């Protein structure tokens, strides 16, 4: 069925306006969101290597716990037994510093404990780098420097506009779908080439974008959704979850040893791989004794793990709300939103796919804005406007400054995390990012899109190269895992891409039509 021309024109207008309103914010969300797919490698890359001795066997954990509780009584209220020892969890036992909490901007210092070869207690204090958390919040809040309570509803509104843009864009593409979808016309007509790229990326990644848009709306208004859930199902939920409400005093409760817990859990959930046993810290909706791990056969509630709530005396799974493969219908439905948004299923192949889709999504919004600005200038010429209007100049400058400012700001604050180490707070990362972002945006507004495009792309590439440079300056343990090498390798590839963009922008600025917004010869008003 062919849509009438006037209907297609209306959808094209809707798609353009909605895209230009939401596109810049969505670029920040998608670029930062792509990086969060590898939050753990980034966290490892930014952290200093541990000096603890090799972790004792799991059988010696009771001995280690007894020594920890004797010297650090606060650990009895809540601690973790790490079943997988790696750079992120270098000690067999860990706990948060007094006053530390899991909050919007991190969880404070963490202590890790191990046993020296002679049996003496070794304790190391680590301040978790806040850079990965900052990038995650930047993604959640679409780059807005507001409090979470203010930014999230705005993000929800942008996500709704995002849905409208997809529907209207599909309606515009449908009449010429067969003819134009696989046509990638590379030549002198730059606008036609960008349109073909935009259409191909948008169409083939449409299922991914639908998932992200709808789940983002759920996350933005989750308090309202959960409030309605509590009103409708509070009594039934309380009866079904006997361990979900109160924080147990684990230190005073007879418990199984970690080895016994792992054995009991393996009997009940053979496909579940435990990574960490968490004692206490069961406030809110989390059980007082839980095991965190993953089961690649199912989606997970967290980005990298699911949770089994256990009875401390028997090791029986009593809370399946966050347990992969054992959830009830409501919990499985809720987890589905998290799983689809985080890509927390299928292991690293899916995370790599989400990473690439996130980057192509950011590029999709960038090309969409380029096309809209160029079309606006074309309409102005037809209307008799010889010179560019101020609105067109501002929109084109923002199309250059905001994306490149985002890319450079994240790069510089990542490098700062490596160089500054534990002294870099969340607020410092925020200040570094927004300072770079604002400078890039103001430079684009002052210089114009054509001149600033090449200049900022070059500076952006240099900013990206500060990441591998920080590795060289960051001290010990350079590339002691493949994940660390991958961080710098990806940064180098993205820097090369920015240099290609800079060359293209510089060439077009010198040879483009004088009245184009991308020509350095354009007249100003």
Q: Domain range holding 429?
A: 386-525
Q: Are residues 162 and 214 in the same domain?
A: yes
* pLDDT tens digits, 267-283: 999 999 999 999 986 55
Domain end position, chosen among 105, 128, 151: 128
In a domain, 357, yes or no: yes
Calpha distance 476→366 (Å, rounded): 38
**148-176 exposure pattern, b = at least 16 Cβ within 10 A, e = fewer:** eeebbeebbbbbbbbbbbbebbebbbebe
Q: What is the mean pLDDT of residues 48-71?
A: 89
- Give the global pTM: 0.85
Are residues 107 and 197 located together in one domain of the fold?
A: no
Question: Looking at the structure, do residues 148 and 174 belong to the same domain, yes or no?
Answer: yes
| 356 within a domain of the structure (yes/no) | yes
Beta bridge partners, 111, equal 95, 125
CA max distance for the chain: 86
- Quick one: 346 and 332 in the same domain? yes
Has residue 271 been placed in a domain? no
Residue 411 within any structural domain of the chain: yes
Beta bridge partners of 93: 81, 113
Residues 77, 195 within the same domain: no
Same domain, 227 and 357: yes
Calculate mean pLDDT across residues 369-374: 80
The pLDDT of residue 234 is above 60: no
- Let me know if residue 485 belongs to a domain: yes
- Residue 318: pLDDT above 70? yes
Beta bridge partners of 310: 317
Paired strand residues for 261: none
- Judge whether residue 416 has pLDDT over 90: yes
Indicate if 42 and 118 belong to the same structural domain: no
Instruction: Report the alpha-carbon distance of residue 347 to residue 351 in Å, rounded.
Output: 7
Structure confidence by residue, pLDDT tens digits, 81-105? 999 988 778 899 999 877 555 444 5
Q: Do 462 and 442 share a domain, yes or no?
A: yes
Tell me phi and psi for residue 241, to 5 degrees. -125, 75
Q: Are residues 499 and 402 in the same domain?
A: yes
Rounded Cα gap, residues 404 and 394, in angstroms = 15
Q: Average per-residue pLDDT in the chain?
A: 82
Which tokens go with 114? 């191990």
pLDDT in tens, 454-481: 999 999 999 999 999 998 886 555 565 6
- Whether residue 242 is predicted with pLDDT greater than 60 in this model: the reply is no
Task: Among 376, 410, 444, give the residue marking a domain's end.
Answer: 376
Among residues 344, 337, 351, 398, which one has the least CA distance to residue 34?
A: 351
Residue 494 resides in a domain = yes
Whether residue 211 is found in the same domain as residue 198? yes
Tally the domains of the chain.
3
Is residue 297 pLDDT above 50, yes or no? yes
Domain boundary among 128, 159, 179: 128
**Does residue 63 share a domain with residue 38?**
no
Whether residue 445 has pLDDT greater than 50: yes
On the question of pLDDT at 53 being above 70, the answer is: yes
Q: Binning pLDDT at 50, 70 and 90, where does residue 240 land?
A: very low
Residue 251 pLDDT exceeds 70: no
28 and 158 both lie in a single domain: yes
The answer to whether position 186 is within a domain reads yes
In a domain, 319, yes or no: no
């Amino acid at each position: 069925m062919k849509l009438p021309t006037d209907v297609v024109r209306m959808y094209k207008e809707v798609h353009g306006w909605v895209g230009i309103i939401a596109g810049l914010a969505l670029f920040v969300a998608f670029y930062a969101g792509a990086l969060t797919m590898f939050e753990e490698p980034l966290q490892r890359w930014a952290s200093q290597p541990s000096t603890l001795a090799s972790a004792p066997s799991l059988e010696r954990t009771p001995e280690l716990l007894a020594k920890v509780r004797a010297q650090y009584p606060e650990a009895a209220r809540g601690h973790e037994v790490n079943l997988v020892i790696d750079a992120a969890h270098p000690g067999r036992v860990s706990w948060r510093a007094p006053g530390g909490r899991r909050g919007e901007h991190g969880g404070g210092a963490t202590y890790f404990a191990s046993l020296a070869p002679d049996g003496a207690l070794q304790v190391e204090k680590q301040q978790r780098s806040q850079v990965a958390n900052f990038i995650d919040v930047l993604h959640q809040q679409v780059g807005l420097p507001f409090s979470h309570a203010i930014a999230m509803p705005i993000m929800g509104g942008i996500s709704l506009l995002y849905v409208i843009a997809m529907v209207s864009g599909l309606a515009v593409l449908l009449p010429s779908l067969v003819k134009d979808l696989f046509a990638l016309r590379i030549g002198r007509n730059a606008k036609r080439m960008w349109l073909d790229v935009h259409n191909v990326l948008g169409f083939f990644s449409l299922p991914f974008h639908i998932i992200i848009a709808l789940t983002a709306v759920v996350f933005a208004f989750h308090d309202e959704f959960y409030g309605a859930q509590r009103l409708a199902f509070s009594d039934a939920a309380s009866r079904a979850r006997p361990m979900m409400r109160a924080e147990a005093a684990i230190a005073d409760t007879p418990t199984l040893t970690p080895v016994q817990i792992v054995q009991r859990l393996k009997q009940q959930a053979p496909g579940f791989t435990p990574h960490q046993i968490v004692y206490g810290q069961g406030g809110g909706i989390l059980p007082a004794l839980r095991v965190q791990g993953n089961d690649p056969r199912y989606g997970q509630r967290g980005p990298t793990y699911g949770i089994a709530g256990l009875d401390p005396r028997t090791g029986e799974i009593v809370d399946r709300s966050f347990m992969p493969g054992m959830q009830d219908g409501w919990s499985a439905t809720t987890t589905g939103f998290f799983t689809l948004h985080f890509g927390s299923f299928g292991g690293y192949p899916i995370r790599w796919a989400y990473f690439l889709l996130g980057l192509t999504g950011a590029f999709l919004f960038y090309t969409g804005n380029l096309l809209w600005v160029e079309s606006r200038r074309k309409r102005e010429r037809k209307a008799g406007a010889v010179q560019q209007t101020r609105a067109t100049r501002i929109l084109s400058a923002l199309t250059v400054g905001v994306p490149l400012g985002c890319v450079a700001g994240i790069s510089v604050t990542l490098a700062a995390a490596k160089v500054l180490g534990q002294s870099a707070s969340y607020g410092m990362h925020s200040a570094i990012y927004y300072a770079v972002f604002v400078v890039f945006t103001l430079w684009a507004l002052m210089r114009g899109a054509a001149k600033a495009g090449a200049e900022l792309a070059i500076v952006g590439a240099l900013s990206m190269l500060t990441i591998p440079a920080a590795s060289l300056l960051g001290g010990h343990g350079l590339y002691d895992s493949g994940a660390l090498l991958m961080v710098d390798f990806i940064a180098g590839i993205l820097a090369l891409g920015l240099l290609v963009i800079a060359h293209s922008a510089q060439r077009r600025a010198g040879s483009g039509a004088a009245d184009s917004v991308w020509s350095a010869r354009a007249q100003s008003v």
